[in-house]
Structure 1
Amino acid sequence: MNRVVHPIEQESFRRLRARLDTSGFPPLSRAVVERVIHSAADLDYADDLVLDEGDLAKAHTALHAGAPVVVDVEMVAAGITRRETVCRLRDARSGPGLTRSAHAIRLAYEEVGPGALWVIGCAPTALEELLTLDAAPALVIGLPVGFVGAAESKAALRGSGLPAVSNVSEKGGSAVAAAALNALLYHRIPQSEETS
């Protein structure tokens, strides 16, 4: 089933492209960059995001083959409109040396196992916890926001060698994390690329 794009969204992307030339990005990278910029009305994400087209292609395949999608908070889940997600934050508890967000990641991993797509847009401690697990993710969208630990957790993600979408700065958040996942959900691979 094709997604019906509202005329306001079409016009928004037209204006975005009039202000920023994204034609140099490979297809999936372009989709992610544009959708993240669109979600935040922040053109600086074009230079701030760190992603790899090969990682995105593998994640796109896994996502459309039914790989689970895990989110750190319900706000990220609310932004992912065309896919069920796993969020265990309501079941999580904090404890010595463990935030509630980190515990939620542990619980989610126990539920889904390896091969999931992880979308973290709120808590740096959730991303830090994911990096301690043997999650073998299809992709980690690591875009937590904040002045404490956000940039550092994203740098650790990039240093981990895991397939990832992240950004260098402290900015991020639920809307941009959901937007990055939605870009992969909405992007259709042209028939010529599927058969080549």
Structure 2
Amino acid sequence: MNRVVHPIEQESFRRLRSRLDTSHFPPLTRAVVERVIHSAADLEYASDLVMDEGTLAKAHAALHSGAPVVVDVEMVAAGITRRETVCRLREAVSGPGLTRSAHAVRLAFEQVGPGALWVIGCAPTALEELLTLDASPALVIGLPVGFVGAAESKAALRESGLPAVSNVSEKGGSAVAAAALNALLYTPLSYSEEKQ
């Protein structure tokens, strides 16, 4: 089923591209950069995001082959418009040394096992917990936001060597994390052809 793009979205991307040349990015990287910028109206993401085209290609294939998508909060799930997601935050509890978000990651991993795509847009502790598990993810979109632990958790993700999309700064959030995943969902299997 082809996605119908609303005229407002088309105009938004046209304006984005009039302000920022994204043509030098490889196809999937460009898709992620543009969709994240579109979600936040923040051109700085073009230089703040960190990702690798080869990693995105493998994640894109896994996603379109039906790999599970796990999110840290329902706000991220609400932004992912064309795919069912797993979010275990409602059942999670906090305890000594464990936040609800971290516990939710444990519960989700017990449910989906290895090979999932993980989309973390809210809680740095969720990303930190994921890094302690043997999750063998297809991709970790690690874009939590905040002044406490966000930049550090994303740096730890990059140092882990896991396949990832992250950013260097403290900014991020549910909308941009969902946008990064949507970029891969919306990009057709024949993504080598120019997108949009």
- TM-score relative to the length of structure 1: 0.97
Judging changes above 3 Å, is the alpha-carbon distance between structure 1 residues 191 and 40 closer, same or farther for their aligned structure 2 residues? closer
Q: Structure 1 CA distance, aligned partners of 2:125 and 2:39?
A: 23
What is the match of residue 159 of structure 1? 159
What is the match of residue 114 of structure 1? 114
Mapping of 1:43-58 within 5 angstroms?
43-58=43-58
What is the match of residue 61 of structure 1? 61
Judging changes above 3 Å, is the alpha-carbon distance between structure 1 residues 19 and 114 closer, same or farther for their aligned structure 2 residues? same
AA of the residue aligned to 1:53: E
Q: Structure 1 CA distance, aligned partners of 2:152 and 2:191?
A: 40
What is the match of residue 37 of structure 2? 37
Judging changes above 3 Å, is the alpha-carbon distance between structure 1 residues 91 and 191 closer, same or farther for their aligned structure 2 residues? closer
Judging changes above 3 Å, is the alpha-carbon distance between structure 1 residues 167 and 192 closer, same or farther for their aligned structure 2 residues? closer
AA of the residue aligned to 2:18: A
Judging changes above 3 Å, is the alpha-carbon distance between structure 1 residues 75 and 192 closer, same or farther for their aligned structure 2 residues? closer
Q: Give the number of aligned pairs.
A: 193
Q: Does 1:8 align with 2:8?
A: yes
Q: Structure 2 CA distance, aligned partners of 1:138 and 1:94?
A: 27
Are the aligned partners of 2:64 and 2:189 in contact in 1 as well (CA < 8 Å)? no
Q: Structure 1 CA distance, aligned partners of 2:141 and 2:173?
A: 11
**Partner of 1:77: helix, strand, or coil?**
helix
AA of the residue aligned to 2:28: L
Q: Structure 2 CA distance, aligned partners of 1:190 and 1:87?
A: 30
Judging changes above 3 Å, is the alpha-carbon distance between structure 1 residues 41 and 74 closer, same or farther for their aligned structure 2 residues? same
Q: Structure 2 CA distance, aligned partners of 1:56 and 1:2?
A: 21
Gapped runs of 5+ residues in structure 1? Answer: none
AA of the residue aligned to 1:125: T
Deviation at 1:188, TM superposition (A): 1.4
RMSD between superposed Cα atoms in Å: 1.0
Q: Structure 2 CA distance, aligned partners of 1:59 and 1:16?
A: 25
Taking only the aligned residue pairs, the percentage that are identical comes to 89
Can you list the C-alpha shifts for 1:122-151, whole angstroms capped at 9, x where unaligned? 000000000000000000000000000000
| 4+ residue segments displaced more than 6 Å | none
Can you list the C-alpha shifts for 1:51-90, whole angstroms capped at 9, x where unaligned? 0000000000000000000000000000001000000000
Judging changes above 3 Å, is the alpha-carbon distance between structure 1 residues 191 and 86 closer, same or farther for their aligned structure 2 residues? closer
AA of the residue aligned to 2:34: E
AA of the residue aligned to 1:120: I
Gapped runs of 5+ residues in structure 2? Answer: none
What is the match of residue 101 of structure 2? 101
Q: Structure 2 CA distance, aligned partners of 1:155 and 1:113?
A: 24
Deviation at 1:191, TM superposition (A): 7.7
Deviation at 1:42, TM superposition (A): 0.0
- TM-score relative to the length of structure 2: 0.97
Judging changes above 3 Å, is the alpha-carbon distance between structure 1 residues 100 and 33 closer, same or farther for their aligned structure 2 residues? same
